[in-house]
Structure formats: C-alpha cells, structure tokens
Amino acid sequence: MVLRKLADRLVSTANTAASALFQGPEAAEKIRRLESMGFPAERARHALNATDGDVERAAELLLLGAEEQGGPASPAGGGAVDMTANSTLRLRQPPSSGEGANVARRNEEQMQRAIQGEPRAGPAAGGDAAQAGGGGAAGGGRGQRKKKAAAANAGGGKRAGNRPRATDGKGGVRSAATANAGRAAAARLLNPAAAATKPTLGQTHPHVKVPTKMSDKTKEEQIMRCANRLKPHVTAVDTLLTVLMGVRDRPGEERYRKIDRNNANYAAHVRDRPGAEDLLSAMNYRRIRSTIPGGEADELRLERHLADAGLLYLGISALEQARLSPEYLEAKRLRGFHAEMRRIGRMNGDALASAGMSESDASVRLGFLSRCPREPPEGRGAVVTVFLGEESERVPGGRVSRRFDGDDTLEDVLNWLGGCYGPELPDRLRGGEWRLCDLNRYPVSPIDVGGGRTRTLQYLGLFPSGRLGVRPSG
C-alpha cells in the first residue's frame, strides 16, 4: 500500500512536470492549485482541458464528479482518487502504457457528461468483470442491501409527496449543506478577497438610516439649523449678527470678510460654539491657512465675488429670530447676572483694602459687622461658605468663609455679607431680586430669606457645615 501511494505521487509529479513542459508554467500553476484542493493531477489536467483553462469551472466539474460518485466533496489523503463509473472509490493503480489512452478517453467522456448535465452511464463492463472476479458473493450481498435501501427510499418518497432527495450513495440522505460544502470551499479558495469582504451597514442593519451630513443639505436648511443651535450662546449670536450686517452694509471693508481664528475673543466666544463656523461656511466663508513670518495664519475669508445677498438676508433673519427665542433671553439674563456677580466680587473688602475704601463705605460695612456675633475659635462652630454665582465660574473675590455657632441665625449671615461686600448684596437678597440657595442639597434649593431670617443655622440645615450660593430669582 505504501509503495502504491508513493508510485501515485511520483506519477502525479511527473504529469505536472510534463504539463509545465508542454503547456507552459501557467497551466502547471492551475494544476497545482487544483492539486492543493485535493484533486489528482491527471483529472485536474483533463478538467482544465474541458473548461478551456478556467480553474473555477474545473473545480466545480471535479466536485460534481465526486458528488455523483457519492464520496466526499474534496478528496483527502496522499493517494489519487479514481472517479470511474464504479460506485466504489478506490486507490487507482498507476496506469500502464497500454491503458493510458482508455483512461484519458473515459475521463474525457465523464467531463463532457458533467458539462452537458447528462445522467451518468451504468458501470463499465471492465469494472463489472473486475468486481465479479474479485468476489461474487460479496457483490451479491451488497446488491441486495442496495435494493432494500432503494425500496425504503422509494417508499419514503411516496409518503413525503414524491419529493426528490439527495443521497450519499449508501442509502442515506445528504443535506443541502453537505452537498454544497465542497463547492463553497472551492469558491473561498479561488476567491479569498470575496470571502474576506465585510458586510456593509445596509446589509446588517437595513432599517437604520444614517443622517445626512450638514454639508450635503441645502443652504437654507444649514442656516436655519445652525441658528437654532446657537440660541443659548448669546455672545456668539451677537457677534455673528454684527459680522453679517457689516458684510451686507459695507461689502468693501475687509475686516468683516476676514476673521482671524486665533483671535482671543473669537476663540473664547465663537469658534468652539456649536453651529458658529458651520453658519459662516454656509455664507461661503472659506478657511485659509498660510505661513507668515513668525507664525501661521488661520483665518476664515469671504471673497467679495462669493458674497450672496440672499444668503446674507437669510442668515441675518435667522439670527434675529434666535434673539427672540426663550433660550436666548434666558441665557442673556444669566449673562447679565454673572456680570453683576463679577462687579460685586470686585467690592470684596479684602480686594478694596489695598486699593483704598472711602470713609462712608467703611463706616457702613463696620455697622454690618458690629451686628454679627463673635466668630467662634478654630475647631468650634460651623464653617459657612458663600459663592457668588456658579461655583465653577470662580468669580474673582466671589468666595468668602466664616465660622458660626449652631444657634446663630440667617440674619447674622446677611449682616456678615453686608460687611464683606457692602449693603447692595443683602438688600437685593432681602428684596427677592437674588436668591440665597443651599448648595448642600440636591437639587439646589433656595432659602426663604424674608421669612427665615430669624431661623437658626442648625434649623436650616447649615450646621455643622454650610455652603450657600447667590443665584438669580425665577
């Protein structure tokens, strides 16, 4: 058996070498590709001749020939497989010089029948004689078993409605996956790039719709969307409105048509706001980068011939409508409040001590501090901290701290704030224009300054620690 396999390999190698000599290196490469799938070199050469050198069609023909024999889709092992008219696969002996022509003719007939889709012929006479000579009793036993299996399959087909069923040559039923496994493997080997291709989003998620890019929308929709996104950003809306009105009214002035992106005010209030530069892009502004002595210029520029009066009118109208929106009005109110907090913070007593304080102002503040209780020593009482505006804003001079006892009242805290910032802050808190909020609670809750001035800090929940913030009313 070992010598027979070795002889088959030598014959296959010799046939491949002969193909390389007579048909060229391209044909030899095709034969080697088919051999790598497990097909014999001789059958591969005949399949290539029958398909005019098409490797994929040749592989399909070889697989169809293997399926008709009822064997595996692609042969395995070292020996060549003889797919003759006999239903039993066996290791083929190296053909002698006398029967080589008959083998080639028989293989050619099988290939032609597979191409034309004709049914396979019955067993050859030589094959029957060889099998009969090899053992008639065993052949008869196998014939009886095959007849019983065929009768059982016929009865099952009648019960199932005479549906055709693929068999594996041994009386069993082959599934569609088994029948097409070899063909799929050949397709993957012949075209690895197609097998490695990943499915697209449309194939994996057919009902998911990717939104259209902003640049692919119409100019009108771009302008309206950008103006809507800019509503909470007061400074950006006002700046862009000034720029567009300047381009409309004074088109010859370059300062409105050229914007330096590195400008500190533009970078702080406009550049990073959502929709700001998209709106300028919709107005035909183009970003230009250039190298200048000492640095790099980065600017947005609107060429005069690209200024469109219709787009300018639409952009100005959209920004004016944004200024009437509730988001813009609320943001503007908060902006004014934060400006007031920065002004109050500059009136902090510690900041005015170095710059100097008028006698009248000093006397008023001393009057507030005289009504405050004595500060407990370190380690006693509650530390009360007051922030002007949002804690994250870090208003200069907008944070003060002091220790109070638990039985001190909210009125004592207001007098202390009057001594730190002057009479304006406690007066506005008492009048309800501004609110004093407890930052230790979530959500932040305002304190009733008018009705709770006589309440103790412990009653209000500001002991042993209190964090208060000044916020706008409403």
Beta carbons of 63 and 73 less than 8 angstroms apart: yes
CA distance 46 to 53: 10
CA distance 371 to 457: 16
The whole-number pLDDT of residue 72 equals 44
3-class secondary structure, 301: strand
CA distance 469 to 453: 16
276 secondary structure, DSSP code:
H
CA distance 194 to 159: 42
Q: For the CA atoms of the chain, what is the radius of gyration?
A: 47
**Cis peptide before 192, with omega less than 30 degrees from 0?**
no
CA distances from 271 to 47, 240, 256, 298, 315 (A): 69, 11, 16, 12, 17
Which residues make Cβ contacts (< 8 Å) with residue 225, sequence separation at least 6?
A: 214, 217, 275
Cβ count near 225 (within 10 Å)? 17
The whole-number pLDDT of residue 401 equals 93
pLDDT in tens, 350-384: 666 656 678 888 889 999 999 999 999 888 888 99
The whole-number pLDDT of residue 472 equals 92
Which residues make Cβ contacts (< 8 Å) with residue 174, sequence separation at least 6?
A: 166, 167, 168
The answer to whether the pTM exceeds 0.95 is no
- Per the listing, tokens 């813009």 go with 328
31 Cα distance to chain centroid: 44
Beta carbons of 271 and 342 less than 8 angstroms apart: no
56 sits in which H/E element: helix 55-68
Strand pairing report for 90-91 and 258-260: unpaired
pLDDT in tens, 290-323: 877 777 888 999 999 999 999 999 999 999 999 9
User: For residues 133-155, b (16+ Cβ closer than 10 Å) or e, as one string?
Assistant: eeeeeeeeeeeeeeeeeeeeeee
Largest CA distance in the chain: 135
Beta carbons of 92 and 80 less than 8 angstroms apart: yes
- Per the listing, tokens 């007031």 go with 340
3-class secondary structure, 250: coil
Name all domains of the chain by residue range, CATH numbers in brackets.
2-122+166-177 (no CATH), 214-324 (1.20.58.2190), 334-472 (3.10.20.90)
- Per the listing, tokens 């029967």 go with 99
Beta carbons of 94 and 8 less than 8 angstroms apart: yes
Beta carbons of 423 and 414 less than 8 angstroms apart: no
Which residues make Cβ contacts (< 8 Å) with residue 69, sequence separation at least 6?
A: 83, 87, 89, 169
CA distance 339 to 345: 10
Write down the H helix ranges in 69-99: none
pLDDT, one tens digit for every residue, the chain (474 residues): 556 665 666 656 655 555 554 456 777 888 888 888 878 888 888 888 888 778 888 888 888 776 555 544 444 433 334 443 333 333 344 444 445 566 667 767 766 766 665 444 444 444 443 344 444 444 444 455 545 545 544 444 444 444 445 555 555 555 666 666 666 666 666 666 655 677 887 788 888 888 888 888 999 999 999 999 999 999 999 999 999 999 999 988 889 999 999 999 999 999 999 999 999 999 999 999 887 777 788 899 999 999 999 999 999 999 999 999 999 999 999 999 999 999 999 888 666 665 667 888 888 999 999 999 999 988 888 899 999 988 888 888 899 999 999 899 999 999 999 999 989 999 999 998 999 999 988 899 999 998 888 899 999 988 888 999 999 987
Which residues make Cβ contacts (< 8 Å) with residue 465, sequence separation at least 6?
A: 382, 383, 440
CA distance 45 to 291: 67
CA distances from 108 to 89, 114, 159 (A): 18, 10, 40
CA distance 59 to 31: 10
